Amino acid sequence: QVQPVESGGGLVQAGGSLRLSCAASGRTFSSYFMGWFRQAPGKEREFVAAISWSGSSTYYADSVKGRFTISRDNAKNTVYLQMNSLKPEDTAVYYCAGRRRSSDPYDYWGQGTQVTVSS
């Protein structure tokens, strides 16, 4: 099992960039699919991006494709979300989550980090 902890959120102007980090404890980190989700006030939590255990496969929501990049460094037990060309609609609390297999739910969640994009 893993215990994710997010960091790197903050306030940025539209068009700017941020890099979120998700540090995860556990020696089996490399065996987990990791994903980023976000939730804006009054909105449902939505999928943003995911990465396979090896990092060879990545998946993105249409809303962030071409702007965000997910990556991982298993040696550092860390997954990243590089966010470029940020838009005000990207404003949300961003959560890092893990799951053992693609058929499993994302059952290991961090506490979230706030990203605010001003116009």
Tens digits of residue pLDDT in 37-83: 999 999 999 999 999 988 899 999 999 999 999 999 988 989 999 99
- Alpha carbon 64 to its chain centroid, in Å, reads 12
Tens digits of residue pLDDT in 6-28: 999 999 999 999 999 999 887 77
Tens digits of residue pLDDT in 70-89: 999 988 989 999 999 999 99
Would you give the DSSP letter of residue 85? S
Q: Which residues contact 86 (CB under 8 A, 6 or more apart)?
A: 12, 13, 14, 15, 16, 17, 18, 67, 115, 117
Question: Distance between CA 45 and CA 109 in Å, rounded?
Answer: 13
